[in-house]
Amino acid sequence: MFRRIFWLVLVSVGVLLVPVSARAADTPQQSASPVPNWIYVESIQMSQPIVSVGLDANKVPIVPDHEVGWYNRSAMPATGENVVLWGHVLRFQAHPEIPAPFERMKEVEIGAPIHIFAADGSEHLYVVEEKFWVEPHQVEYILPVGEERLTLVSCIGEYIIENGSVEDMSHRLIVIARPR
């Protein structure tokens, strides 16, 4: 019900919250799988598609350019384990008009609700309980933890510049939310 009302409001006021390049196929679709496919965080005005991603040949996480990535080796919502999502915080020079999916993630506060919609039509509510910085090599936060939780990962900190452009950032922002 929430999703239908939310989208009706958006259509009636003419607001577009998805990237300019998004297609209708990027909006929440229903299937028999609880794979996460949309995230909504009202407190930072974030409404983004989620795409399934893994690791590249060097075992480095693949981070989509303009969408939120669901680490497909992590859990699906409501399965009792760690659901891991990641996204960029900086806009790409080639498309500065498209906001980075997690560009406002550092503003999310403890207690903020996060809604995850899944491909099977289900909605999962999580509430932010922790927020902290780690170094890039600290990957334990994307591993199974033995409990249901949502872990959001993005870059933060000092820019690491190579050949005149930002190649990375010095730290990762970890936001942990638990189901309600």
Question: Minimal CA–CA distance to 175: which of 142, 128, 138, 137?
Answer: 128
Q: Is residue 19 part of a domain?
A: no
> d(Cα 142, Cα 63) in Å, to the nearest integer?
14
Q: Is residue 4 part of a domain?
A: no
What is the domain range of residue 175? 34-179
Contact indicator for 71, 56 with CB cutoff of 8 Å: no
Q: Flag whether pLDDT at 16 surpasses 90.
A: no
Q: Is residue 59 part of a domain?
A: yes
Lowest-confidence pick of 8-17, 83-92, 116-125, 137-146: 8-17
Q: Is residue 167 part of a domain?
A: yes
| Total number of domains constituting the chain | 1
Lowest-confidence pick of 24-33, 90-99, 118-127, 131-140: 24-33
| Domain CATH code at residue 141 | 2.40.260.10
SS3 of 142, please? helix
Between these two residues, 25 and 55, which has the higher pLDDT value? Answer: 55
The pTM is what? 0.78
Q: Flag whether pLDDT at 10 surpasses 50.
A: no
Contact indicator for 110, 98 with CB cutoff of 8 Å: no
